[in-house]
């Protein structure tokens, strides 16, 4: 049974869970600006999106290690150290003028993000039993769209002044560090299991979760990363206006979170199938949209889908691992999920070359998501609770 926790721990974890995606929410509107600033850098088309996605590669590479450290030495010490590094090193691009230096700083930020993500997800499992955990994850998704919308608007407004100004948003990690220090306690350690078979890490379970998570993650991050480019392709030239549009469509995720809360006790495969179907419809709609309002409406459906698939995947993962392995299991999930984020940008670039445009490429991903939604309904996922 997870150690008792209350509203202060839940609210603090909700705040911490937003930090690893700050690079997307706060910087997505600046992507067209970065492409223009660094247009003379060789391979800028491929390298500039990595300002957003490179931290995710580090999360993918080091989340499993972070989970093992959290299981062995504790969640709280690692989390506090990572929060301090996140806040200070996230500001580093303010000091640089070359794309290479910016990318190098993003690697270090990614190491901190790996620990924050893993420890936060693990503490959801440590603090709350299953039904309360799913309810809190629903609350997290309800509050997330509001903060993400504000970050997107702030990032767009800051980008209008200077391409590096949105990185000031990393200062938000400092109050998060204070709240974590005051309100989060280290969970009690359970005694090691006597039987050797229960002590082994359940790789088969982790593998099933990883396969599903990778596919969903690639679809999830297509819109999350490319939203600024989507509006630019439809005629929105102002980063500030792009940030405002992203803020508006992000609010649709609140309805998606409410939908997840209503369906939180239904099988995971049904939740994932609904989310993928909404993504597919959204992406095909973006492809066919002939105006900015139509594009915004289609994008809003994608935001709705995001608040269904993300808590569903996290709840499934945390329910599938015993406390002894929960940190490592959460690390595996984080590694695969953010690997999907890193893969999504170059994958879409490749599809874009084949499909002769950004909108047709997103439409192709939408068709694949619709097919995946149908396939998901046809298979029962073991450990699907």
Q: Which of 166-175, 195-204, 307-316 has the lowest mean pLDDT?
A: 195-204
At 163-172, the pLDDT tens digits run 888 899 999 8
Residue 72 host element (H or E):
helix 50-73
Report the distance separating Cα 375 and Cα 385, nearest Å.
Answer: 18
pLDDT, position 175: 93
pLDDT, position 313: 92
Confidence of residue 210 (pLDDT cuts 50, 70, 90): very high
pLDDT (mean) for 313-340: 88
pLDDT, position 378: 78
Sequence-distant (≥ 6) Cβ neighbours of residue 363 within 8 angstroms: 283, 284, 286, 287, 288, 355
Q: Are 172 and 19 a contacting pair, CB within 8 Å?
A: yes
pTM, whole model, 2 decimals?
Answer: 0.78
**What average pLDDT does the chain have?**
85
Structure tokens belonging to residue 123: 């503490």
Q: C-alpha angle with apex 327: 103 to 271, nearest 5 degrees?
A: 85
Sequence-distant (≥ 6) Cβ neighbours of residue 362 within 8 angstroms: 222, 223, 226, 230, 283, 286, 287, 348
pLDDT (mean) for 25-29: 76
């Amino acid at each position: 049974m997870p150690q008792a926790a209350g509203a202060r721990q839940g609210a603090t974890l909700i705040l911490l869970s937003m930090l690893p995606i700050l690079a997307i929410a706060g910087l997505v509107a600046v992507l067209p600006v970065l492409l223009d600033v660094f247009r003379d850098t060789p391979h800028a088309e491929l390298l500039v999106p990595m300002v957003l996605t490179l931290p995710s590669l580090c999360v993918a590479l080091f989340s499993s290690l972070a989970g093992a450290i959290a299981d062995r030495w504790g969640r709280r010490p690692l989390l506090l150290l990572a929060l301090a590094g996140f806040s200070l090193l996230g500001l580093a691009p303010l000091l640089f003028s070359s794309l290479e230096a910016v990318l190098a700083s993003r690697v270090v930020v990614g190491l901190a993000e790996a620990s924050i993500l893993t420890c936060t997800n693990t503490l959801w499992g440590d603090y709350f039993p299953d039904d309360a955990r799913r309810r809190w994850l629903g609350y997290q998704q309800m509050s997330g769209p509001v903060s993400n919308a504000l970050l997107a608007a702030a990032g767009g407004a800051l980008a209008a002044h200077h391409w590096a100004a949105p990185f000031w948003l990393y200062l938000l990690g400092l109050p998060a560090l204070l709240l974590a220090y005051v309100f989060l306690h280290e969970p009690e350690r359970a005694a090691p299991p006597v039987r050797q078979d229960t002590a082994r890490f359940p790789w088969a379970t982790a593998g099933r979760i990883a396969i599903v998570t990778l596919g969903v993650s690639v679809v999830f991050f297509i819109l999350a990363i490319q939203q600024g480019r989507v509006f630019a392709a439809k005629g929105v030239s102002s980063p500030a206006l792009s940030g405002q549009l992203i803020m508006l469509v992000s609010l649709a995720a609140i309805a998606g979170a409410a939908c997840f809360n209503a369906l939180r006790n239904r099988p995971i495969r049904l939740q994932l199938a609904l989310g993928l179907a909404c993504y597919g419809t959204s992406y095909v709609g973006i492809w066919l949209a002939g105006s900015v309002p139509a594009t915004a409406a289609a994008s809003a459906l994608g935001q709705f889908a995001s608040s269904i698939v993300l808590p569903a995947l996290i709840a499934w993962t945390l329910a599938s691992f015993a406390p002894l392995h929960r940190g490592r299991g959460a690390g595996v999930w984080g590694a695969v999920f953010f690997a999907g984020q890193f893969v999504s940008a170059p994958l879409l670039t490749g599809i874009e070359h084949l499909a002769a445009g950004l909108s047709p490429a997103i439409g192709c991903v939408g068709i694949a998501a619709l097919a995946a939604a149908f396939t998901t309904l046809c298979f029962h996922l073991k450990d699907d609770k």
